[in-house]
Amino acid sequence: MAFLKQHQVNTAPALERCKSFTFDVNQQAESLRQWEQRYNQHSNGTFSGYLDELTLGGVHFFEEFTNRTLQQQCCVKHDNLWLGFSLQTQRPKINNNIVAAGQIMTRPSGIEFELITPPDFHIYGLVINKHSLDSEMIGADYDLWQNTSSHLQMSKPSSYVSYELAKLISLLLGNSNSPIGSTQLLKDAAPERLASLTPLITSKVADLLMQTEYQQHDISISQQTTRRVITEITKHIEDTGEYPLTITELCKIANISRRALQYCFEQGFGVSPIQYIRGCRLNEIRRILLKEGNQNSIADLALNFGFFHISTFNAHYKELFGETPTQTIQRADHYHHPLISQPSLSISK
């Protein structure tokens, strides 16, 4: 069979999953959904490639591999925005311009462009419905996002953002052939569980996109604003007993943009907002693990508190508390019944 599709899943309108293996350059071009494109092969030998895709909450994630030099004529369909990047040392060209390491290529729908990719090449991509992230953008973020989605052609280089996006895509796809390494979302990641993570994943994408574009902007935040933001977020947690899981939630609580929120927490706590709220969630998970009679599994707690990759959760937990979640459970009795050491009494003769 020349063309093979594996584990195609469609459990809900928000979730579509497909992996395709191809042995012809034309089939490769036809495999990618939401695109109009044509590939020409320009290095000798038998072609092989694959395309791994996941559509989740208005964002289409994909990783593509091709083993030959290709000239690609591309155009994104519908009302979408494409972002593409690679972590490899060999660089692609877009419209005859070399894409620097860490740069993210961006093109809106309806605009044709040419992409030249070298042999044995992995490229990551996102096709985002322009309106799917509107609710993630608060205040000044919304105007910036609208401008970016229409006019930006290439981001400034950001190895951090491109790496984090690649890691997120690899976690979602679980592709062992990826340059980022073998990864897998929670071990028993059923499609319905993956779909339940849509708000967290969408917010993560928005966080990374806004970090890229904010390298071009600077803002000033007063101490009064810093106090107000931190007070409102702290009060929300105290009043509701719930911890926000995304930066979007924090921005909505304090009615402030992502970048302004970042400045407030750096000034007020010396950490980023995501580090602060992650620490709060890890502390709450620890309290649950230490409760007598706790029946919650570590994986379920991690997922419920917004940690959608178990290895990353374990690493954050151990870094903060000096032990793994499993060790916390094993030592729970010692925490409930601590040994109290008393100084010995000296008896005079």
- Whether this prediction's pTM lies above 0.85 is answered by no
Residue 62, beta-bridge partner list: 53, 125
Residues in contact with 343: Cβ distance below 8 Å, sequence separation at least 6, in sequence order: none
Q: Quickly tell me which residue has 């599709």 as its tokens.
A: 5
Give me the half-sphere count of Cα atoms (radius 13 Å) on the Cβ side of residue 249.
16
Nearest by Cα to 303 from 199, 181, 165: 199
Say how many C-beta atoms besides its own lie within 10 A of residue 146's C-beta: 13
pLDDT at 47: 97
Residues of the chain with CATH 1.10.10.60: 221-335
Residues of the chain with CATH 2.60.120.10: 3-184+191-212
DSSP structure class, residue 135: G
Helix (H) or strand (E) holding 28: helix 25-31
- How are strands ordered across the β-sheet holding 59-66? 3-12, 15-22, 49-56, 59-66, 121-129, 80-85, 105-108
pLDDT at 332: 78
Rg (CA), the chain: 24
pLDDT at 188: 47
Residues in the chain: 349
Distance between CA atoms of 66 and 69, rounded to whole angstroms?
Answer: 8
CB 138 within 8 Å of CB 247: no
Q: Are strands 121-129 and 97-98 parallel, antiparallel or unpaired?
A: unpaired
pLDDT at 229: 92
Tokens of 14: 């928000």
pLDDT at 180: 60
DSSP structure class, residue 188: T
Tokens of 340: 């109290």
Which homologous superfamily is 3-184+191-212 in?
Jelly Rolls (2.60.120.10)
Looking at domain 221-335, which of 1.10.10.60, 3.10.105.10, 2.60.120.1360, 3.30.428.10 is its CATH number? 1.10.10.60
Say how many C-beta atoms besides its own lie within 10 A of residue 176's C-beta: 10
Residues in contact with 166: Cβ distance below 8 Å, sequence separation at least 6, in sequence order: 85, 87, 124, 178, 179, 180
Residue 336, Cβ density class (10 Å: 0-12 exposed, 13-18 middle, ≥19 buried): exposed
Residue 19, beta-bridge partner list: 6, 52
Distance between CA atoms of 254 and 233, rounded to whole angstroms?
Answer: 7
Q: Where does residue 95 fall: left (phi above 0), alpha (psi -120 to 50 degrees), or beta otherwise?
A: left
pLDDT at 114: 96
Helix (H) or strand (E) holding 98: strand 97-98
Tokens of 36: 């109009």
pLDDT along the chain (349 residues), means of 10: 36 66 93 88 96 87 95 91 92 93 89 95 91 78 69 74 87 69 52 69 80 60 90 91 84 88 87 88 92 85 83 92 92 68 50
Angle, CA 200 vertex, CA 170 and CA 53 arms, to 5°: 35
Torsion angle, CA of 272/276/278/282, rounded to 10 degrees? 150
